[in-house]
């Protein structure tokens, strides 16, 4: 949810005329961010009589108007202000509940179509689940190498321009 928090912070800063924060943000890295919702957030809503999800969970559902609004705002910053965006997508299902005897409830938390906001760069992390998408295992891990390359590119852009 960190990526959604960053989007909301920038959106709120723009609305409250805290222009320096928005202007000084040169790039964002999203790790399995549910730009268009999460399948996990859809589960309690489908089981409404059993589970009563918090209102904030409703905003994480697939196709949430709030998520679309935030994504459109970041798209505008990308297209008009030159905000660089790097997104990572998970490819493995994530264990949600595990039990004795090896059974487990697993699911894809953020599918690729939600992890890619529709602009910027996308890196698909092979054999990585939602929990581990932001945890490189080594310096040769694609999530580490791509993030480092992205940051170096941003540094070059800022120092040369």
Could you read off the pLDDT of 1-30 as tens digits, one per residue? 689 999 999 999 999 999 999 999 999 999
**Structure token digits, residue 61:** 């559902």
Close Cβ partners of 89 (under 8 Å, ≥ 6 residues apart): 32, 110, 112, 115, 116, 122, 123, 124, 125, 133
Q: Is 32 left (phi over 0), alpha (psi -120 to 50) or beta?
A: left
Supply the pTM of this predicted model.
Answer: 0.83
What are 44-58's pLDDT values in tens digits? 555 454 455 555 555
């Amino acid at each position: 949810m960190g990526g959604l928090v960053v989007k909301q912070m920038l959106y709120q800063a723009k609305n409250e005329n805290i222009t320096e924060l928005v202007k000084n943000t040169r790039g964002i890295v999203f790790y399995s961010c549910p730009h268009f919702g999460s399948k996990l957030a859809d589960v309690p809503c489908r089981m409404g009589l059993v589970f009563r999800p918090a209102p904030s969970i409703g905003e994480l559902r697939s196709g949430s108007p709030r998520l679309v609004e935030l994504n459109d705002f970041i798209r505008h910053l990308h297209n008009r202000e030159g905000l660089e965006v790097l997104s990572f997508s998970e490819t493995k299902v994530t264990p949600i509940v595990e039990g004795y005897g090896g059974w487990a409830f697993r699911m894809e938390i953020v599918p690729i179509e939600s992890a890619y906001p529709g602009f910027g760069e996308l890196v698909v992390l092979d054999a990585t689940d939602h929990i581990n998408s932001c945890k490189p295992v080594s310096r040769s891990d694609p999530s580490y190498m791509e993030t480092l390359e992205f940051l170096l590119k941003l540094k070059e852009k800022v120092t040369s321009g």
